[in-house]
Structure formats: structure tokens, C-alpha cells
């Protein structure tokens, strides 16, 4: 198993899960500053869009950090990092994984673009404000879900917690969780796990 990785990117997510699983893997550090992700060999054999992460397993290289989490949790079912297939907890697991990537995270990208990433002349304050509102709406839903719960998908830690806590950590760095102490506490608990600490050490 091989993970193409760069610090402080979404590739931390599958690395965290690999650490939770305790399975052997090779970490291939991709030097984004030097443009390693834009080299022809990387584009042809690893990730056609020149992004991280990419995961190689069984001779197949595939994209998307959420796909990596889903695959790894199912690849090692005895580790218990995904609920039992067909159970209500499994349905909740799928729901919150999808919610995290399609509802919770995209407004953060839009906010970052229109406050930091884009050239100043291309930033649209109204779009940044709209992104804040969209994130706030999503955060309220998640906050209600986590009230009285330790984990998002059931009674045990799962790959869904890796994803949700990672996104909340990013949101916190952008100042977007200050009105949600429950979400802050949830993220702190998950990020304090030894596997998370190892995955995020650099």
C-alpha cells in the first residue's frame, strides 16, 4: 500500500486512517513547492489532475480522499472503522460522509477563494459572505447531530470521524467554528487520538 502525500492537505485524512488501522504502508511525499505533482510521470501514473492524495493498493492507483477512507475501512473490516453493512449505523455513516464532502466542506473552499486564494481583483465579497452562511447552516445541522454524542455515525469511532474532524479543523483555522463550541470540542477529541497526532505531525 502506498500513499502519495503532502502535509496540510486532504492527504492527511487517509494517512490518519492508515495510522488508526495499524497496517504497513509506504508514504510517498510529494513536493508541491517543487512542482512534483505536475510532472508528466505523476500526471500519467498517479493523479491526472496533479493533486494529492492518491492511494495505490493492489496495483491500482485511485483518487479522492473520501474514496480512500471508504475503501480502507472496508479493506480491513476487523479493525471496526466502519459500521456493519446494512445496519442503521452504516446508513448514518454514508450520510455523514456525503454531508461532509458535499455540504460542509465546499463553502470553506469558496470562502478561502474569495478572501485569500484568488487575486484581489477577482474576489467577490458577496460570494464570501454567502459561503459563510452556507457553512454556518451546515455546521448547525452537524452540531445538532453531535449533541450528546461522542462520534458522528454511531457509538464507535469510524472513518466518518476522520473526515468530519479534519474538515472542522480546517474550518477552525479559518475562524468559522468560533460560534460552535460543541463542534470545537468534538474536533479536539478526535484530533487528540494518537493516530491523528502521528498523521498530522508534519
Q: Please tell me the predicted confidence (pLDDT) of residue 59.
A: 93
- Residue 193 CA to residue 162 CA, distance in Å, equals 10
CA-based torsion, 6, 37, 44, 9: positive or negative:
positive
CA–CA distances in Å: residue 173 to residues 44, 147, 166, 184: 34, 22, 11, 11
The pLDDT value given to residue 128: 98
Q: Which positions of the chain have pLDDT values less than 50?
A: none
Q: pLDDT at position 6, please?
A: 97
pLDDT in tens, 111-165: 999 999 999 999 999 999 999 999 999 999 999 999 999 999 999 999 999 999 9
Matching residue, cell 502506498? 2
| pLDDT score at 180 | 99
Residue 202 has a pLDDT of 85
Report how far residue 52's alpha carbon sits from residue 126's, in angstroms, rounded to the nearest whole number.
30
Cα-Cα end-to-end distance for the chain: 21
Domains in the chain: ranges and CATH? 2-79 (3.40.30.10), 88-193 (1.20.1050.10)
pTM over 0.85: yes
Please, what is the angle between helix 65-75 and helix 159-173, to 10°?
A: 150
**Cα–Cα distance measured from residue 32 to residue 92, given in angstroms and rounded to the nearest whole number:** 35
Residue for grid cell 502519495: 4
Amino acid at each position: 500500500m502506498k500513499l502519495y502525500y503532502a502535509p496540510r492537505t486532504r492527504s492527511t485524512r487517509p494517512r490518519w486512517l492508515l495510522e488508526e488501522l495499524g497496517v504497513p504502508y509506504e508514504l510517498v511525499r510529494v513536493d508541491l513547492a517543487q512542482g512534483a505533482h505536475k510532472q508528466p510521470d505523476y500526471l500519467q501514473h498517479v493523479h491526472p489532475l496533479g493533486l494529492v492524495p492518491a492511494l495505490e493498493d493492489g496495483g491500482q492507483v485511485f483518487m479522492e480522499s473520501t474514496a480512500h477512507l471508504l475503501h480502507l475501512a472496508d479493506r480491513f473490516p476487523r479493525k471496526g472503522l466502519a459500521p456493519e453493512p446494512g445496519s442503521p449505523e452504516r446508513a448514518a455513516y454514508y450520510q455523514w460522509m456525503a454531508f461532509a464532502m458535499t455540504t460542509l466542506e465546499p463553502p470553506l473552499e469558496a470562502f478561502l477563494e474569495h478572501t485569500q486564494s484568488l487575486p484581489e481583483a477577482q474576489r467577490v465579497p458577496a460570494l464570501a459572505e454567502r459561503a459563510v452562511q452556507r457553512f454556518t447552516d451546515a455546521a448547525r445541522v452537524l452540531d445538532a447531530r453531535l449533541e450528546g454524542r461522542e462520534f458522528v455515525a454511531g457509538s464507535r469511532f469510524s472513518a466518518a470521524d476522520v473526515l468530519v474532524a479534519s474538515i472542522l479543523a480546517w474550518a477552525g483555522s479559518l475562524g468559522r467554528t468560533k460560534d460552535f463550541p460543541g463542534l470545537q470540542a468534538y474536533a479536539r477529541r478526535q484530533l487528540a487520538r494518537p493516530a491523528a497526532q502521528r498523521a498530522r505531525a508534519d
